[in-house]
């Protein structure tokens, strides 16, 4: 995520900010060029400080879940990110409302990233080949699960409950479980359909790297939940769950690719460098590039490893879990390289 600045006073503001904490000017995100615009809070209309162009907020601004902007004369009421919502929870329930807010924060960050990559983000509500989000409560239908099916990404609202999510993380023996992680994983399934299944060359290479996706998915999951991951799974897979089926290996690897890219983009905009005072230490890195413009994935990994070690060490100093509690092996790098190469043409 890049750093945003107030157009009135140049104070740094967050991606989710509704106003500048320094001068009080209203703020809104314009996704077409990933800029944060600011507006006079005393004005009757949203005329940007820098450009003097008028906008309106996405309709979901009234719920404090979206600060994205829509062109003033656009017939659309919702921004590009909120147009992807098919189902939201009953907002008269206060607990539902708070959980939905957390989900929207994660979803907007996901859409920012997918837009920066250059992927087509068509809403399934307007195009059958598109995708959409269902944020749902499970209690009315016990069979509902977080997952993806035919472009519909379902996220159970309970995942936004930090206590329940931590309980699930321990039950599933996971080192990491977050809302942004869920969203990145599930959207990975959707883009497998769009980027791999319809591309014979990519599909052939995919099978050589991730395995044969034609193996029965249901049987594979049952086997995984019965026996667990094989011994030495860490050598070739980013997580235990990735061992269950080729599709899950792809989705888990896709999610971690997005994790790494977002982490490095953030480090780049903050000008972070890792330079231990012990000159013999090999954990050195200069984040002097935007990872989305870097063609060589080896450069990205070589920079990411020292950075993640440094950030994990800072977290341990504060007594909190590692930001990135994973070890990236050469086999995992090979899988992420495939994804990186697949996405490079999208950024042209």
For 210-254, how does the pLDDT look when each residue is reduced to its tens digit (9 = 90+)? Answer: 999 999 999 999 999 999 999 999 999 999 999 999 999 999 999
DSSP state letter for 194: I
The alpha-helical segments, DSSP class H, found in the chain are 94-117, 162-171, 179-192, 200-210, 217-227, 246-270, 297-317, 330-343
Question: Looking at 53, 79, 105, which one is the last position of a domain?
Answer: 79
d(Cα 250, Cα 197) in Å, to the nearest integer?
12
Give the chain's domain count.
Answer: 3
d(Cα 162, Cα 279) in Å, to the nearest integer?
41
SS3 212: coil
* 208 and 323 inside one domain: yes
* 296 and 211 inside one domain: yes
Contact 244, 339 (CB under 8 A): no
* 164 and 286 inside one domain: no
DSSP state letter for 160: G
- Tell if the pTM clears 0.75, that is, is over it: yes
Task: State which residues form the domain around 296.
Answer: 199-348
Q: Is residue 175 over pLDDT 90?
A: no
The alpha-helical segments, DSSP class H, found in 70-161 are 94-117
* 140 and 129 inside one domain: yes
Mean residue pLDDT of the chain comes to 92
Per the listing, tokens 């009421």 go with: 77
Residue 182 lies in a domain: no
Residue 13 lies in a domain: yes
Q: Taking each helix axis as running N to C, give the angle between helix 179-192 and helix 246-270, from 0 to 180 degrees, rounded to the nearest 10.
A: 120
Find the angle CA(162)-CA(163)-CA(168) to the nearest 5 degrees.
95
Residue 185 lies in a domain: no
Average pLDDT over residues 322-338: 92
The string of pLDDT tens digits covering residues 41-79 is 988 889 988 889 999 999 999 999 999 999 999 999 999
Per the listing, tokens 């792809």 go with: 250
Residue 211 lies in a domain: yes
* 93 and 19 inside one domain: no
* 267 and 289 inside one domain: yes
The string of pLDDT tens digits covering residues 71-113 is 999 999 999 999 999 999 888 888 889 899 999 999 999 999 9
pLDDT band for 348, please (50, 70, 90 cuts): low
pLDDT band for 283, please (50, 70, 90 cuts): confident
Contact 316, 309 (CB under 8 A): no
* 271 and 319 inside one domain: yes
Average pLDDT over residues 319-341: 93
pLDDT band for 264, please (50, 70, 90 cuts): very high
Tell me phi and psi for residue 89, to 5 degrees: -75, 170
* 36 and 123 inside one domain: no
Q: Between 223 and 144, whose confidence is greater? A: 223
Tell me how far apart the 2 most distant CA atoms of the chain are, in Å.
64
Burial of 265 per CB tally in 10 Å (0-12, 13-18, 19+) = buried
Q: Is residue 296 over pLDDT 90?
A: yes
* 138 and 283 inside one domain: no
Average pLDDT over residues 29-43: 92
Q: Is residue 273 over pLDDT 70?
A: yes
* 208 and 154 inside one domain: no
* 121 and 215 inside one domain: no
- Residue 30, H or E segment: strand 26-30
């Amino acid at each position: 995520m890049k750093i945003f600045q107030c157009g009135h006073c140049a104070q740094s503001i967050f991606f989710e900010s509704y106003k500048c904490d320094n001068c009080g000017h209203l703020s809104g995100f314009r996704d077409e060029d990933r800029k944060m615009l600011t507006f006079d809070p005393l004005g009757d209309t949203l005329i940007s400080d820098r450009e003097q162009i008028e906008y309106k907020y996405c309709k979901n601004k009234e719920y404090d879940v979206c600060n994205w902007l829509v062109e003033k004369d656009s017939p659309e009421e919702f921004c590009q990110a909120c147009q992807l919502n098919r189902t939201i929870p009953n907002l008269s329930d206060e607990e539902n409302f708070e959980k939905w807010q957390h989900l929207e924060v994660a979803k907007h960050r996901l859409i920012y990233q997918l837009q920066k990559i250059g992927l087509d983000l068509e809403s399934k509500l307007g195009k059958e080949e598109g995708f959409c989000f269902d944020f749902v409560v499970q209690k009315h239908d016990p069979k509902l699960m977080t997952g993806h099916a035919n472009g519909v990404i379902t996220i159970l609202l309970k995942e936004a409950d930090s206590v329940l999510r931590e309980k699930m993380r321990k039950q599933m023996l996971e080192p990491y479980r977050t809302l942004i992680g869920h969203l990145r994983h599930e959207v990975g399934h959707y883009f497998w359909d769009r980027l791999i299944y319809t591309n014979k060359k990519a599909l052939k290479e995919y099978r050589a790297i991730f395995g044969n996706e034609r193996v029965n998915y249901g049987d594979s999951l049952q086997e995984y939940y019965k026996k667990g991951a094989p011994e030495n799974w860490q050598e070739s897979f980013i997580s235990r769950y990735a061992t269950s089926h080729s599709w899950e290996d792809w989705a888990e690897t896709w999610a971690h690719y997005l994790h790494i890219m977002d982490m490095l983009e953030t480090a780049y905009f903050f000008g972070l460098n890792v330079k231990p005072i012990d000159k013999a230490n090999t954990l050195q890195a200069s984040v002097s590039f935007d990872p989305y413009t870097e063609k060589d994935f080896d450069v990205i990994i070589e920079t990411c490893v020292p950075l993640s070690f440094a950030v994990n060490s800072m977290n341990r100093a504060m007594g909190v879990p590692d930001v990135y509690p994973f070890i990236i092996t050469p086999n995992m790098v090979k899988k992420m390289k495939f994804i990186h190469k697949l996405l490079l043409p999208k950024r042209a």
